[in-house]
Structure 1
Amino acid sequence: MTESNLPAAQPDISRAATDTEKLVVLTSLLAAYPCRTPSDFRLVRPAYMQALEDVSQWGLFEAERRINQNSLNHAFMPSPAELRGEIDRVMEPFRERARRAAEERRLYQWPEEPRALPAPAGDPEAVAKWRVRRAAQKAEAAVKSAGAPVDQALFADKDQRSQRTPAEAIADFVSRQDRR
């Protein structure tokens, strides 16, 4: 296989960029674009490094690629804030996906059932109380698992409906369709 035919490795979007990778990107941007800031990079390097704190490697390189494709609409070296803004714009879909996944986990997570207390040791009266409470918990759990709760206001005629013949059910359905 030639290099062009090799499957592309999936980038690790969450891997933090190292200081070396940050400097490589800054150096390539400085070489490509005229700078509006002092010509001595040592004076502005702390500002760029502060702006690039906690960025991912993929976000950094993708932002560089987009800047080279004129995403900032100017031909100057981006300021620290512009560079960080472009990285944040690149990473926003991934942050949004993580927020949605966390919200779905929160919404669809089963509530935790109260756990049974361990049996106390030594005191026979406490053990007897514990057994009564544990039996009540088991009975409550059995009732819950026996069936889903039914809203009596919505299904007041449930017993009557279950006694209908198929012909009556069809006639009832058709009559409801005619009312629409």
Structure 2
Amino acid sequence: MSTTVKQRKETPSSFPSTGGHSLKPQEKKSSLSQILVIGLVATLVLAAVGGLGYYWSIQPKYFTPQELSYYNGENGAPIYLAVKGRVYDVSIAPKNYGPGGGYHGFAGKDATRAFLDLCFSEECLSKGLDDLTKEQMADIDHWASFYEDSPKYPFIGYVKK
């Protein structure tokens, strides 16, 4: 003996009410898309403004050579170096620029000339750049560009003359 059960088809008018709001599926999709687009745009704007706010708030500092000398990585101090009077924070690489590192001689000073001859004496470092050849200046410009363009080493300020 087989029994068949017949189910009654519901008509759209018999669907339960959704609180008086009767948006068609197409309208619901459109509204949701608009909300998502507005939310995405708002998020991108806030992210851009928030990210740029960091850069807008940075004011370059001015260091005398004596002040700069404190930033040599000793006693937990940050590590700064300067090239052509522009100071960069190289603290992210203490094995290179910190005490015992191969480039520690550059730390805490404007060592522009030392990029040519690795002479870190006060006599060498205090010389100007006027007597350099075009090739030597190109070498210094290369190092200045290296630090300027590196996202690892942020620009901090200037050395006062």
Whose RCO is larger (CA < 8 A, sep 6+)? Answer: 2
More strand by share: 2
Q: TM-score with structure 1 length normalisation?
A: 0.29
Which structure has more helix as a fraction of its residues?
1
So what's the TM-score if we normalise by structure 2?
A: 0.31
